[in-house]
Every structure is written in structure tokens, then in C-alpha cells.
Amino acid sequence: QVQLEESGGGLVQAGGSLRLSCVASGGTFSRYTMGWFRQAPGKERELVAAHKRIGGNVYSAEYTDSVKGRFTISRHNALNTVYLEMNTLKPEDTAVYYCAAAAGDSDYRRLAAYDYWGQGTQVTVSS
């Protein structure tokens, strides 16, 4: 069983930056595809970024179009941690951000591909 705990959310002005962290316990962290999702009030949960495991310790970073060039996903396997660096934040980035881990090879873009989820951390961007 894998447990995920996010941190780093908060209130920031538009144009500002935040770094989210997600620490995993249990399982073999390096084997998982890790994703960051977000859910705004009244909207569906959506993928923001994924650190997709290709094989061994080789990964690819994938982003939804709205955050490309502004957000960066990375991981530190020795610390069992995945990060989401968010720059040039916009009010429309306001949401609860969730970390998720996928053990299999299903489509990383789909929520159903992920086996474990964190509780979420609130990010609020003021205009």
C-alpha cells in the first residue's frame, strides 16, 4: 500500500510561484508513474503533469497544454518525492492539487490509470 502526502500549497498573487511536493511511503517509488492533477470548484479533476516511467529509471515529463512552459514536474527517487514547480501562476490555476501514483502501464492521462492518491493541497492564485 502506498500513501501519498502533498505539501506546498497556499495563496499567491498572479505571476507568482509555488512548489508542490508529494512524498510517498510504501511501495517502490521509482517504479511508479507519478501524476499531478487538479480540481477546481464545479469542474472535473484534470491531469496537470505526469512523470511517466518509460523503463528502469528513465522517465518522460508530460504536461497539459495550459501549463506548458510554466510548470515543471520532477522527482527525487532517493527521497520518494515528486515535485511540481509552478511559475507565472494565473487565477485559473486555482484548484486543489492532487498527487497520484500509477503502478501499471495504462494511459497516464486517465484518472483510472492511477492506483494511489493523496489528500490534496489547495492552491489559490489571486488576481
C-alpha cell at 25: 511511503
Residue type, 62: E
Q: Are 108 and 100 in contact (CB under 8 A)?
A: no
Note the pLDDT of residue 97. 98
pLDDT digits (tens, 9 = 90+) for 3-23: 999 999 999 999 999 999 999
C-alpha cell at 28: 517502490
pLDDT digits (tens, 9 = 90+) for 65-97: 999 999 999 999 999 999 999 999 999 999 999
Does pLDDT of 102 surpass 90?
yes
Cα Rg for the chain, rounded, in angstroms? 14
- Band (105; pLDDT cuts 50, 70, 90): confident
Note the pLDDT of residue 55. 87
Cα 124 to Cα 107: distance, rounded to the nearest angstrom: 29
- Band (1; pLDDT cuts 50, 70, 90): confident
Does pLDDT of 60 surpass 90?
yes
Cα 115 to Cα 100: distance, rounded to the nearest angstrom: 7
Share of the chain above pLDDT 70, in %: 100
- Band (28; pLDDT cuts 50, 70, 90): very high
